[in-house]
Amino acid sequence: MKCDSCGFEENARYFNVLACDFTKQARECPKCHASFFRTNIELIEEREELAKKLTMQLVNAIGSKDIEQARKYIDELDLLNIQINNPELAKFTELIKKRLT
């Protein structure tokens, strides 16, 4: 998630939810404390994009044999997948977990 005011970018969980309804959420930036709105569709799209980035970082960590970092990426992906509920991502992380043990 990225703040519209200061440009701070971090995982959505760091931005406090100020209010929400069925279509949008008001969030607060942890850096500048500005509030901004995101539609639920925008939030899902941002989370899916983050999942793609984390997946690529996971593949790179495995390629460089950084198992500890790979496990951290898997944990991040698992938490993210609770929100986006992507069955393919769940299968992928389970497969990688098995290969890393």
Domain region containing 82: 43-100
Residue 7 lies in a domain: no
| pLDDT at residue 11 in the model | 82
The total domain count for the chain is 1
CB 73 within 8 A of CB 57: yes
pTM: 0.77
Per run of 10 residues, the mean pLDDT along the chain (length 101 residues) is 93 91 94 95 90 96 95 95 93 94 80
Residue 78 lies in a domain: yes
Residue 79 lies in a domain: yes
Long-range Cβ contact pairs of 28-36 (< 8 A, separation 24 or more): 29/3, 29/5, 31/3, 31/6, 32/3, 32/5, 32/6, 32/8, 34/3, 34/4, 34/5, 34/6, 36/3, 36/4, 36/5
| pLDDT at residue 83 in the model | 86
